[in-house]
């Protein structure tokens, strides 16, 4: 499993958890980490 697949899986699990309890949205810190993680992956594969 690649790091990107793990990141995507974690993202979907986290967003599903956030959706199940809409009062607690996904932490901005986590979202920033996820976006930067994908950005790094995109740069690495480019």
Name residues whose C-beta falls within 8 Å of residue 15's C-beta, 6 or more positions apart in sequence.
Answer: 26
CB atoms within 10 A of CB 29: 8
Q: pLDDT tens across 9-42, in order?
A: 888 887 777 666 555 556 777 778 877 877 776 6
Over 80: is that where the pLDDT of 8 sits?
Answer: yes
Angle between helices 3-20 and 28-45 (to 10 degrees): 160
- Count structural domains, the chain: 1
pTM here is 0.36
pLDDT value of residue 39: 78
Name residues whose C-beta falls within 8 Å of residue 33's C-beta, 6 or more positions apart in sequence.
Answer: none
Residue 11: give the domain boundaries. Answer: 3-45
């Amino acid at each position: 499993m690649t790091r990107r697949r793990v990141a995507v899986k974690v993202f979907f699990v986290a967003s599903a958890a956030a959706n199940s309890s809409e009062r607690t949205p996904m932490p901005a810190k986590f979202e920033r980490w996820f976006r930067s993680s994908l950005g790094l992956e995109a740069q690495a594969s480019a």
